[in-house]
Amino acid sequence: MSEKPEKLACEQAIKMILEYLDNELTEHDHVAMNGHFETCRSCFSRMEFEKMLKDKISALPAKKAPDSLRNKIKKVTGKF
């Protein structure tokens, strides 16, 4: 097996979970996190949870545009 990069402590991993999900970690940290998730069930569950919540938030809006807005927009695009 290839040599392991230095191990992350859970405390460090937890701090980086959200940025991991945002894809904002350096490649080095991202890889280290992947390694940590392979061996740490607790941090993995935590990451899964944060991911589900993030997905719920990204799916957020479910509001219908009112007719008044539709009409207003027709006027705007009609003028182009």
Partner 1 sequence: MIAVMPTVDGHMLDKEFFADQVEANLDRFYAHAILMTKNEACAEDLVAEGIAKAWKAVDSLQDATRFVPWVKRIMTNHFISEQRKASTKTRHIEYHEEFSEESEPFSLFEQLHQPFLLWWGNPEKEFLDDLLQKDIVAAFEALPENFRIAVLMADVEGLSYPEISDTLDVPVGTVRSRIARARSALQKQLWDHALEKGLVDQEGED
Q: Which residues bind partner 1 (CB under 8 A)?
A: 18-19, 22-24, 42, 45-46, 49-50, 52-54, 56-66, 68-70, 72-73, 76-77, 80
Q: Is 40 a residue that touches Zn ion (CB under 5 A)?
A: yes
Q: Are 43 and 36 in contact (CB under 8 A)?
A: yes
Q: Which of the ranges 2-10, 15-23, 25-33, 63-71 carries the binding residues for Zn ion, by CB under 5 A?
A: 2-10
Which residues bind to Zn ion, rule: CB under 5 A? 10, 13, 40, 43
